[in-house]
Structure 1
Amino acid sequence: MKILHTADWHVGKVLRGRSRADEHAKVLDELVGIARAEDVDAVIVAGDVFDGAVPTPPAQALVMKTLMALQEGGREVVVLAGNHDDPRLLDDVYRPVLRQLGIRVAGRFRRPDAGGVLSWTSRHGEPVRLAAMPFLSQRYVVRALEALTGTPDQHNRDYAHRFARLADALTAEFGADTVNLVAAHGTLPGGRMGGGEREAQTIFSYYFESSAFPASTHYAALGHLHRRQRMPGPCPIWYSGSPIAVDFGEEQNTPGALVVDVAPGRPADVREVTLRSARVLRTVTGSLPELEAMADDLGDAWLRVVVAEKPRAGLADAVRDVLPNALTVDIDEAFRPTSSRRRAAAGSREAPTPRQLFRTYLEQTGHEDERVVALFDRLYDELDGQED
């Protein structure tokens, strides 16, 4: 059978105040075109369908339209919740409606016999089992494990160990004559970041190990890291990457998806597919005349501009006159006043994140403790998710 693996759509993303709705519509239409051209049997969307927990009506309409187009012709479509998604929205609103259309949605972790393992028969007659593992926060991974075992967990096990126990329960019935798949959203150690991932949910305390997936797994489809890449492990494990560069940290990424051929008794054959519908993100540096000279070569790319001139009133406006797609305009470090250069050298070119501020506070007060930092990260993660 043939699978289209995609993830990290981040529909509803606003880049420096600019809507990317038109780009997302083109990118998702390109994905649908790939599903048709490749005649895939199934589509896995491994989380972060939306950019926030409260997506706008236009964002929801685009996702609904895309999922229905992907499902046309009877394709199996599986959608997981990522760390940017609200699992309640996906489970309580989307799941019951989309299930009637043949689209399977996993917002929360479920027991194997209650929707955690999805089973179907491919159009070629192959039985398929898919272990669905949507994003689990530190708090909910404990609840999921308690729901699985039926008893309170009294041990202080780490996230990776809990994740492995859940994965073991979902993959226990993988057979030699079935196509065995895992779909999950989270971070494997050693994975290369794309640049736009949420920091609080990509730290060590949110890692799980590739050993959580048994060798009987024919393919593990992951989401969360925005760079497309294969991960080492006992089975084929891939991040599909995002189909759109989410922020300027991802300008060197190649947006795309994966087409996977898989059958019982052999490893998956994975092919990368590049998507070209979204606008390119670029960082450009130079004096005002140099920037003006390169304007014709930049096309419609969204720009982060670093000006190699001394700051002066009206400079940013002058840059935008020659480069209308400039979303941010900064002064090159070498041309900043001495005090600004010192701050930049100290890593303060951009406003520090709350996590960085808290670490600095602990260092300055002599209370450095990684356990306290980890607790802060978890609390900040939960509050940040509520605000989305």
Structure 2
Amino acid sequence: MKILHTSDWHVGKVLKGRSRAEEHKAVLAGVIEVARREAPDLIIIAGDLYDTAAPTPEATRLVTRALTALRRTGADVVAIGGNHDNGAALDALRPWAEAAGITLRGSVREDPNEHVIDGTTNGGEQWRLAALPFLSQRYAVRAVEMYELTAAEANQTYADHLGRIVARLTESFAEPDRVHLVTAHLTVVGATTGGGERDAHTVLGYAVPATVFPGTAHYVALGHLHRAQRVDGGCPIRYSGSPLAVDFGEQENVPSVTVVEVTATTAAQVREVPIPAAASLRTVRGTLAQLAEVEVPDAWLRVFVREQPRAGLREEVQELLPRALEIRIDPELVPAPGSGTRVAQRAGRSPRELFGDYLDDRGHADDDVRGLFDELFEEVEH
């Protein structure tokens, strides 16, 4: 059978105040085109369909239309909720999804059979998919209790909980003559973050070892980390990555989807298919003269300016590079706080004097900045 694995669409993402709706339309159109060309038997979306738990109507429309279009390619479609998604809201769409022939699992249900999905390809290959949406630490404990595993797990680690849940969902994977698959939205120890994930859900006890997945699985389709990569383990484990870079920390990623070919008796053959539709993200550095020579017309830019701070500098950079979304003084030119020779004494000093000391300490010698502070302070006072 052939599988198309994608994840982390983050539809509704706003980058430094700039909507990326048109880019998302182009990116999802690219994913749909790959599905039409590759003709997979199964399409897995491994979480984070949305960027926020309260998506706009436009974002909801885009996601539901994309899922419908993917289903119309003839493939079975399974999507799970990620940490950015509202699991309950996704589950509320299940009647629509089922009518459209789409399997949607937003959050963990009491019946574990809800998360074990069976299918048969047009060629007669049988498959079984264990689908595990994102679980917070609190709900991991609750899920373990619902599945009536062991009674002493309240004080176990997140990885222990996830291991027991995955074991429960995959306990039938020893049966022969069937392709066994897992999809989940989580962090596996040893994997590399893409730069734009939510830190609280990738560290601080949220990482699990690859050993939670059974060696009898033919392929594990993961979401959550935005860089496409293979993870070492007892079975083929892979992140498809995000099909677009969601922020500047991901500018080196190659947006793609993953295509997998596998049978019950042969190993998974995996390849990445690039999705180049979104604008690239680039970081540029230099003086104004150097920035004037930069030519990246289709990229969103993060700019580190190698000039001393002064009033109006941002506007000058913006005029040179209209697609600059983030403009900062190059960190190498900014003295560390407190590195100045003079320490400001607060007692008996005016706000203007204290602000002046701050500017001196940070190497800001522009009198226009002091003048702007005076104007703002006067407005606040009066």
**1:109–1:132 Cα contact (<8 Å) kept:** no
Report how far residue 74 of structure 1 moved: 3.1
* Residue aligning to 1:280: 280
* Residue aligning to 1:320: 318
- Distance in 1, Cα, partners of 2:299 & 2:24: 15
* Residue aligning to 2:233: 233
* Residue aligning to 1:168: 167
- Distance in 1, Cα, partners of 2:188 & 2:283: 29
Does the alignment pair 1:42 with 2:48?
Answer: no
- Distance in 2, Cα, partners of 1:25 & 1:269: 29
* Structure 1 segments (4+ residues) deviating >6 Å: none
Distance change (3 Å), C-alpha of 1:112 and 1:124: farther
Segments of structure 1 that go 5 or more residues without pairing to the other structure are: 344-388
Does the alignment pair 1:210 with 2:210?
Answer: yes
Report how far residue 151 of structure 1 moved: 7.3
| TM-score normalized by the length of structure 1 | 0.85
Report how far residue 254 of structure 1 moved: 0.5
Letter in 1 for 2:178: T
* Residue aligning to 2:333: 335
Report how far residue 150 of structure 1 moved: 7.0
Q: Which deviates more, 148-157 or 297-306?
A: 148-157
Equivalenced residue count is 339
Letter in 2 for 1:13: K
The alignment partner of 1:246 has SS state of coil
- Distance in 2, Cα, partners of 1:155 & 1:58: 41
What do residues 53-80 of structure 1 show as CA deviations (whole Å, max 9, x unaligned)? 0000000000000000000043100001
* Residue aligning to 1:52: 52
Report how far residue 171 of structure 1 moved: 0.6
- Distance in 1, Cα, partners of 2:339 & 2:11: 38
Report how far residue 110 of structure 1 moved: 3.3
Indicate the structure with greater helix content: 1
- Distance in 1, Cα, partners of 2:203 & 2:130: 24
* Residue aligning to 1:101: 100
**1:41–1:122 Cα contact (<8 Å) kept:** yes
What do residues 83-109 of structure 1 show as CA deviations (whole Å, max 9, x unaligned)? 000000011x21121011110011112
Letter in 1 for 2:228: R
- Distance in 2, Cα, partners of 1:48 & 1:72: 22
> Which structure is larger by alpha-carbon Rg, 1 or 2?
2
**1:119–1:127 Cα contact (<8 Å) kept:** yes
- Distance in 2, Cα, partners of 1:33 & 1:323: 33
* Residue aligning to 1:79: 79
The alignment partner of 1:261 has SS state of strand
What do residues 217-253 of structure 1 show as CA deviations (whole Å, max 9, x unaligned)? 0000000000000000010000000001010000011
Distance change (3 Å), C-alpha of 1:256 and 1:341: farther
The alignment partner of 1:267 has SS state of strand
Segments of structure 2 that go 5 or more residues without pairing to the other structure are: 341-382
Distance change (3 Å), C-alpha of 1:154 and 1:319: closer
Letter in 1 for 2:158: Y
Distance change (3 Å), C-alpha of 1:301 and 1:227: same
Letter in 2 for 1:314: G
**2:12–2:21 Cα contact (<8 Å) kept:** yes
* Residue aligning to 2:366: none
* Residue aligning to 1:304: 302
- Distance in 2, Cα, partners of 1:153 & 1:81: 28
- Distance in 1, Cα, partners of 2:288 & 2:183: 48
Report how far residue 299 of structure 1 moved: 1.6
* Residue aligning to 1:369: none
The alignment partner of 1:58 has SS state of helix
* Residue aligning to 1:2: 2
* Residue aligning to 2:270: 270
- Distance in 2, Cα, partners of 1:49 & 1:18: 19
**2:39–2:75 Cα contact (<8 Å) kept:** no
Does the alignment pair 1:145 with 2:144?
Answer: yes
Report how far residue 278 of structure 1 moved: 0.3
* Residue aligning to 1:367: none
